[in-house]
Structure 1
Amino acid sequence: MKAVIMAGGEGTRLRPLTCNRPKPMVPVVNKPVMEHIIELLKKHGFTDIAVTLQYLPDMIKDYFGDGSDFGINLRYYVEDKPMGTAGSVKNAEEFLDDTFLVISGDALTDIDLGKAVEYHYSKGSMATLVLKKVDIPLEYGVVVTDENGRITRFLEKPSWGEVFSDTVNTGIYILSPEVLKYFNKNEMFDFSKDLFPMLLKENKPMYGYITDEYWCDIGDLMAYSKAHMDVLDGKVKINIPGNKIKDRVWVGEGTVIEENVVIEEPCVIGANTRIKKDSVIGSYSVLGDNNIIGERSGIKRSILWKNNVLETNTQLRGTVVCSKVNIKEGVFAFENSVIGDDTQIGKNAVIKPSIKIWPNKIVEGGTEVNSNLVWGSKFVRSIFGFRGVAGEINVDITPEYASKLGAAYGAIFKGKGKIGVSSDDSAAAKMLKMSFMSGLLSAGLKVLDFGVLHLPVARSAVRFYGADGGIHISTSSTNFGRLTVDFLDKNGSNIKREVERKIENAFQREDFSRCEGEAIKDVEVIPDYTKYYLRNIINNTRSKDFGYRIALNSLSGFILETVGNLLETFGCTVEKTSLDLRNAKTMRNGNKSAEMTYFTDMIKMGNYDLGVSIEDTSEKMMLVDNNGRIVSDDMFTALISLIVFKTVQGGTVVVPISTSSVVDKLAEQNNGKVIRTKTSPQDIMNKMLGNETKENVYEQFTLHFDAIAGLVKILDFMKSENYSLSDLVNMIPDFYVSEKEVECSWNVKGKVIRQIIQENEGQSIETLEGVKIFKDGGWVLVLPDAEQPVCRIKSESYSAEFAEELTNFYVNKVREISQK
């Protein structure tokens, strides 16, 4: 059988290791990772091998040649431009005249390929995917199989809410050559995104071979170091070069070890290396060929490639040193630092933890390097959370961080476009607004300074001025040190997940260009947009005199002033309060805070028409009707859905998957339609603004995400249709929901969702986000949280008691699976 090695990867997340080499040429225990793959293929009888190349192809060709030195035959197929995984293999179609194996050239594995091939033939499969269970599947393609091993579902790089299995695609496939007939040559085509879903749709025999053997996708620097530890711990069976001088110490030919050198196992030392006297080579260290280690040096848990010179008393702790690096006397480098090729580190310099130094740099003597040097990469799991970027002011989000993040956002526009920037009225938000603007300007973009705005007003300004995007910075009234940054697209909606990932990638690698000085543009200041925004609200109401008595609550004086003045313009009498009513919307009756009780009693006793409490961002509101009833989250969604249905006959509403099915009942009563989406704000926003029917799109967007204009729309509807708020609440059928959180560590979330899906096989379930199980006339949703190690459980049923029982059952189920 023939094989194909896919070796076109750039390895961007491995930079600076991959600045000067393709990812398959990155060494693992002193051999390119692709050489380990070739040895594995040869071991299992694959000697005719095609190699697909794209990034720096000559380096791979020069090293492996025709394969004869390795006991195999190699043919190379070079792409002029990236064609996707399947597209690259298509180039070798004439070579692949029978069933063949595809394997990545940049993963480390000892999987028994022979057994996988036997499995393929035993199943009569057209395509067999080798699968592996992993703890955290976010960076992989998740695959689900039935009890016979047949593949039933795929999802590429899911978010936590989309994780429905912990079984992932290793990128090793056994394929019938007929699969290549499904697409054309020179067509951008991917195995996991395009071909396999196509075969699944056509019900072709496609199976998953699940292995417990070792497999590691060396995707980032943490995984690279971990792979070395796994090799030294014997977790993966590969050939380690050198002679064993102790149980777990390998030393290459020609290496000289002087007196009083301590070598701790396990470790690997390459050929022709010299370790001078009184040095210590600690456990889990790997030294490549032709290195010189100076006297009294200490190397612990570090990886050195080849041709490096370390002078006297160099101390490395958990450091990766690439090739041709000169480290002068007395240098200290700490955990997770990386020093790129052809770099010189001056005498007594200190490289702090997690610092990345790109190739061809000079660090002067005595320097303390505490930020990445020119082109850096500090690994973080994720910058963006459930909504935008959040963190502590001057701790998580500093001016330097904000400027770099602004430049990373600007990078996706490739130096063209204009971005609106705004903040709330806090001094910290205004300070960081300037930093974000500096980053955007450095990327060559035009910046519109919208000044001090509420977030919904900023969304409106982005649309009105035709900006290509926006950034809004806001603080918390209850935690003055906390800050949230919302990144907006041209519609004023929060940017999509894929755009967040692009920004994260650019930020982590600092892989973005700065414009020349003469290309920096002036900032255009846009004053008083709020006046236009408020005038627009007034002009778009049917009734100009509401005359309502309203209790208005907010912890933000900025909100109280803006909304209070607007309501008074409509002839309302407004009583302002500053009570802390956080989380009040989700509280059940009988479990209200003292401040919430005060607010509801005030509305009832004072003969107010309604009460409204507006959150810091001015996006969300909580209503209380004239009878003192709190309009909960689900009730509020039902209320605005009712308004949409009564305003537009046969209208469509977009609601998150976690919303009560009472909305479906309202749709049925009013000939409407319900579209469900994922729960994050940007998913809801983007679904609304992408709604095919397009009617009243911004109306619904406003009702969900603009408490200022949304409140006026609700009041205008009440006045024009002669309803009180309690009349509208009474129109909503009774429903019963229960919601709880349960601890669930990151590494078991995929397992939890997979097992719940398996246990409910044959039942009515939905996996748009998390898993939603429909049973006994109700439903329960198990949803992994994107920011915390918890799962959220929400149930709805015909009674409050049964809804709570259902929630408690799945809280216990998540705990049970987590502890196995």
Structure 2
Amino acid sequence: MKAVIMAGGEGTRLRPLTCNRPKPMVPIVNKPVMEHIIELLKKHNLKEIAVTLQYMPELVKEYFQDGRDFGVNMRYYVENSPLGTAGSVKNAENFLDDTFIVISGDALTDIDLSSAIEFHFKNKSMATLVLKRVDIPLEYGVVVTDESGRITRFLEKPSWGEVFSDTANTGIYILSPQVLTYFNRDEAFDFSKDLFPILLKEGKPMYGYVTNDYWCDIGDLKAYRQAHMDVLEGRVRVNIPGEEISEGIWVESEAEIEEDASVLPPCVIGRGSRIKKGTVIGSHSVIGNFNIIEKRSGIKRSIVWNNCIIDKNVQLRGGIVCNKIHIGENVSAFENSVIGDDTVIKENASVKPNVKIWPNKMIDAGTEVNSNLVWGSKFTRVIFGNRGISGEINVDITPEYASKLGAAYGSVFRKGSRIAISCDGSPSAHMLKISLGAGLLSSGVEVLDLGKLLLPMARSAIRFYKIDGGIHINTASEDRAKLFVDFLDLNGSNIDRGMERKIENAFAREDFNRCEGDCIEEIKYIPDYGTFYLRNILNSIKSKQMKYRIAVNSNSELITGTMKELLSEAGCMVDTMSLRLINTRTSSRSMPSSHVRFFTKNIKLKKLDLGVSIEDTCEKMMLVDDKGRIVTEDMFIALISIIFFKSTLGGTVVVPISASHIVEKIAGENKGKVVRTKTSQQDIMKKILGDEIKEEMLDQFTMHFDAIACLIKILDFMTVNNYRLSELVDMIPGFHMAKREVECPWNAKGKVIRQIIQGENFEKIETLEGVKIYQDGGWVLVLPDAERPVCRVISESYSAEFAEELSAIYVNKIREISRG
């Protein structure tokens, strides 16, 4: 007699266990559940087996091969599209030339199949269903039989109102090959929904064999855990791998249990696993193959699969740990938690009860994971990058994530504070703005929706309306799935690191302020601030008429439209383009340099006065003068310093520590002063605006972080003083800088800086950020990157060659130290 194992189950209710494997390959006491079924079939001399497959079929084939190693002969039949239980078996019709048994590959059972087969032949049945009495039959087909066992009625997955029996269909059938003639090949057809009602209606002999043996459908995570408990308690007769070294403790070959480690029955220790000193493996635990469980860890009522590293003092309580997981020191995971394949949980983290973590995640040190982690690659306390938050829409940043983020931000303010929200108008940014607004409202703050604005406009609106803070969402023009979220303070600056940490802590702990329902206010809409902002810029112009011919490049229609409207009203002639030149925010070229050359040549050929290319957030811009020369980022800092000092004699400019020292030379020529700050946007903003906004410093803030207003200020200065842009560029003293990046692992960054500082005798050294070394008339700055495992090396000297040589020396030093 032959058998069919139905092994096409996807197991959606078992996720994340089934993210990387089909349901029949999920292990029960260190064997795929389907292997237990094969052993049961073999026990009853059913060795000719057909296997129907659909979801991840290769994993099943790869494991069982032709079945020879398991003492059976196996053939595989793969569905290209779902055909139902009967439709999948129809694929094996040529193989099934006599009475056969159908059994699920994803249930655990020790049913006496020989008795069921004997019952089938005794009653000359066409179809015999193996039945089991269950307490709650809602997830199964219920069946009624008469005194002889003949089926009189059944219903698939009834509601409580439809329940007429507690006798459930186990999905194990003994069938005559004649049943396969009732439907066609490649036809979607189900045994219980389609075939059995036909047989019942035609009065064909169909019987139910009621068993008292063990049967468990591994349908969800609760059933999966219970199946393990039942095996360990001896309620089901299956072969547990390993030798029973003492009552209730099974240990496989090559496993090592060190002295002073406690193993309490019942439990299973898999092949090659190491249990180290002071560790307690509690009762009802299953440890898979090749795991390393370090000292003083405690594992109770938990299931650990294969190839995991569990560091010192880890506490697992009633959880499931899948394959190839690294759990750091002092981590705790509680009841009913599930950790998916290839996940890393760093030290001191905590996984709360009932939390499911999908595969390939990174959980940062000290993080408390209190909700399911499905999307993205990382769950971390640190959610802010170099500035704000960035990520992929509906992957890293979902509406649920945004709502929690809004609640976390609102929770750091007093009740009744006013928070503005705005976005660039893209559908995805608008969707997340709604979610952020909902989260903010739930925390009891007042929300003002500024609508569709550019980021500099949002900053200006916050200052103008005296709002306590704000959130602006911007979409990357080159990748509409990528979003940037900026969090702003009452000055319109990006919030400082201290505020970011408060938000991260509130977000990680879900420690949100929640106001009562009658305290939640409606969102207040403030339309048309953009119009007021542009009018305000025009009103600030000192010159009567600007008659410049300008090329404006941006990938954002909102930016090009706004710039064209503003410049045209100021008297300029505008030529708009949408070349992909450079993304200032990511500092990565998105298109070949030929597009840059086209832009610069276009300005010369058309004899335009200047060109400007504006990045997505409308904060930074690249200028090209009337001679076609590009004003680089370092030249731009010098350019706005010249304009500022000539407009405000004896003033103070703020520049990052990485900027060229020609700014000091320009300051000296104009009796000015230079203040150096760290390189992050927040630090520059904070240093410029401080706690009290001064008019001249607000102008400087605008020049750094508002491309629209900055361009108008440059044009106005040029008009009033009768300069061309090329003449201003000529005023910039010559300088030579080199910039390199070098790989440096996270754990080596501190060592790199320390060893460089402790190195040779230098003329002068600064440690405001990273380390800045002065030597041989030049300087070099070694700056560990905050978001990537690299160090940036920036140098300046009297010649381009020596600047390159300086940077190369320190790139090599970083490599030596980090690899040392």
TM range (shorter): 0.5 to 0.7
Aligned 8 A contact 1:553 1:612 in 2 = yes
Q: For 2:454 and 2:586, locate their aligned partners in 1 and report how far apart those are by CA, in whole Å.
A: 24
In the other structure, the counterpart of 2:110 is none
Whether 1:310 and 2:285 are equivalent positions in the alignment is: no
The 8 Å contact of residues 375 and 510 in structure 1, kept in 2 or not, is answered as: no
- 1:251 aligned residue: none
The 5 Å alignment of 1:772-787 reads 772-787=772-787
**Offset, 1:480:** 2.4
Question: 1:758 aligns to what?
Answer: 758
Structure 1 residues 774 and 343, CA, compared in 2 at 3 Å: closer, same or farther? closer
Q: 1:293 to 1:691 in 2, by over 3 A?
A: closer
Matched, 1:671 2:671: yes
| Deviation (angstroms), 1:264 | 3.9
**CA shift digits 1:79-103 (9 cap, x unpaired):** xxxxxxxxxxxxxxxxxxxxxxxxx
Q: Which amino acid aligns with 2:595?
A: E
CA distance in 2, matches of 1:767, 1:321: 36
Distance in 1 separating the partners of 2:467 and 2:246: 65
Distance 1:515 1:315, change over 3 A: farther
Preserved contact between residue 279 and residue 294 of structure 1 (Cα < 8 Å): no
Question: 1:551 matched to which residue of 2?
Answer: 551
Change (3 A) 1:337 1:435: farther
State the shift of 1:760 in Å.
Answer: 3.5
CA 1:302–1:427: 2 relative to 1, 3 Å: farther
Map 1:404-803; keep pairs closer than 5 Å: 404-582=404-582, 593-690=593-690, 694-803=694-803
Matches within 5 A, 1:30-109: none
Instruction: State the Cα deviation string for residues 144-197 of structure 1 (Å, max 9, x = none).
Output: xxxxxxxxxxxxxxxxxxxxxxxxxxxxxxxxxxxxxxxxxxxxxxxxxxxxxx
Q: What amino acid sits opposite 1:769 in the alignment?
A: E
User: Do the aligned partners of 2:249 and 2:265 also contact (CA within 8 Å) in 1?
Assistant: no
Q: Distance in 2 between matches of 1:505 and 1:726?
A: 50
Distance 1:260 1:797, change over 3 A: closer
**Inter-partner Cα distance in structure 2 for 1:627 and 1:336:** 58
Structure 1: distance between partners of 2:333 and 2:641: 63
Distance 2:693 2:464 in 1: 22
Q: Does the 8 Å contact 1:651/1:695 carry over to 2?
A: no
Q: How far, CA to CA, are the matches of 2:357 and 2:766 in structure 1?
A: 50
Write out per-residue CA displacement over residues 511-569 of structure 1, whole angstroms, 9 at most, x where no aligned residue: 33433333322111111110111111111111242111111111111110001110000
2 CA distance for matches of 1:725 and 1:581? 21
Conserved? CA contact 2:451–2:527, under 8 Å: yes
Looking at structure 2, the residues matched to 268 and 721 of structure 1 have their Cα atoms a distance apart, in angstroms, of 86
Tell me the residue number matched to 1:260: 250
The SS at the match of 1:275 is: coil
Q: Distance in 2 between matches of 1:409 and 1:268?
A: 51
Judge conservation of contact 2:418–2:445 (CA < 8 Å) in 1: yes
CA, structure 1 residues 691+663, in 2 after alignment: closer, same or farther (shift >3 Å)? farther
Say if 1:387 and 1:369 are closer, same or farther in 2 by CA, change over 3 A.
closer
Residue aligning to 1:283: 274
Q: Secondary structure at the match of 2:630?
A: coil
CA contact (8 A) 2:257 2:276 kept: yes
Distance change in 2, residues 1:744/1:368 (3 Å) = closer
State the shift of 1:491 in Å. Answer: 0.6
Q: CA deviation at 1:711?
A: 0.7
**Is the CA contact 1:292–1:309 (under 8 Å) kept in the aligned structure 2?**
yes
Please give the per-residue CA displacement for 1:218-259, whole angstroms capped at 9, x wherever unaligned: xxxxxxxxxxxxxxxxxxxxxxxxxxxxxxxxxxxxx98744
**Judging changes above 3 Å, is the alpha-carbon distance between structure 1 residues 644 and 305 closer, same or farther for their aligned structure 2 residues?**
same
What do you get for the CA RMSD once the two structures are aligned? Answer: 3.8
Q: 1:276 is aligned with what amino acid? A: P
Q: Which amino acid aligns with 1:420?
A: A
Residue pair 2:277, 2:294 contacting (<8 A) in 1 also? yes
What amino acid maps onto 2:747 in structure 1? N
The Cα offsets for residues 734-779 of structure 1, whole Å up to 9 and x where unpaired, read as: 1121212122222222222122212243521111111111122221
- How many Å apart are 1:443 and its aligned residue? 1.9
Corresponding residue for residue 274 of structure 1: 264
Distance 1:260 1:324, change over 3 A: closer
Task: Report deviation, 1:424.
Answer: 1.0
- Quickly say closer, same or farther: Cα 1:354–1:627, change in 2 above 3 A: closer
1:387 to partner: Cα distance: 1.9
> Could you state the TM-score of these two structures normalised by the residue count of structure 2?
0.61
**Aligned partner of residue 579 in structure 2, secondary structure:** coil
Moved more, 331-340 or 726-735: 331-340
1:296 to 1:456, Cα distance in 2 relative to 1, 3 A: closer
> Residue 309 and residue 623 in structure 1: after superposition, are their counterparts in 2 closer, same or farther (change >3 A)?
closer
Which residue does 1:98 correspond to in 2? none
- Tell me the CA shift for residue 617 of structure 1: 0.6
Unaligned runs of 5+ in 1: 1-254
- Size of the aligned set, in residue pairs, is 550
> Larger deviation: 668-677 or 774-783?
774-783
Q: 1:314 to 1:527 in 2, by over 3 A?
A: same
Note closer, same or farther for the CA distance 1:788–1:274 as it changes in structure 2 (3 Å cut): closer
Normalised TM-score (structure 1): 0.61
Aligned in 2, Cα 1:649/1:319: closer, same or farther, shift over 3 Å?
same
Q: Quick one: distance in 2 between partners of 1:354 and 1:622? A: 41
SS at match of 1:478: coil
| Alpha carbons of structure 1 residues 417 and 615: separation in structure 2 relative to 1, 3 Å | same
Matched, 1:294 2:268: no
Describe the SS at the equivalent of 1:644.
helix
State how far apart, in whole Å, the 2-side matches of 1:308 and 1:765 are: 52
SS at match of 2:545: coil
* Superposed displacement of residue 570, structure 1: 0.5
Q: CA deviation at 1:452?
A: 1.2
**3-state DSSP of counterpart to 2:739:** strand
> Secondary structure of 2:425's match?
coil
Can you list the C-alpha shifts for 1:435-478, whole angstroms capped at 9, x where unaligned?
Answer: 22222222222111111110101111111222211111111112
SS of 1:786 mapped into structure 2: coil
* CA positional deviation for 1:593: 1.8
Look up the equivalent residue of 2:657 and give its one-letter code.
Answer: I
Question: 1-side partners of 2:483 and 2:513: how far apart?
Answer: 27
Letter in 2 for 1:818: S
Aligned to 1:403: 403
Using the TM superposition, give the Cα deviation of residue 620 of structure 1 relative to its aligned residue in structure 2, in angstroms: 0.5
**Larger CA Rg, structure 1 vs 2:** 2
Unaligned regions of 5+ residues in structure 2, if any?
1-244, 362-367
Distance 2:333 2:654 in 1: 56
How big is each residue's C-alpha offset from its partner over 1:462-512, in whole Å with a ceiling of 9 and x where there is no partner?
112222111111111122222111111111101111221222222223333
CA shift in 2, pair 1:774/1:340, >3 Å: closer
Distance 1:785 1:443 in 2: 34
Q: State how far apart, in whole Å, the 1-side matches of 2:576 and 2:437 are.
A: 35
Amino acid at match of 1:731: M
Do the aligned partners of 1:585 and 1:631 also contact (CA within 8 Å) in 2? no
Following superposition, the deviation at residue 407 of structure 1 comes to: 1.9
Could you report, residue by residue, the CA deviation over 1:797-816 in whole angstroms, capped at 9, with x for unpaired residues? Answer: 11222222222222222223
Whether contact under 8 Å (1:375, 1:511) holds in the other structure is no
CA distance in 2, matches of 1:518, 1:625: 59
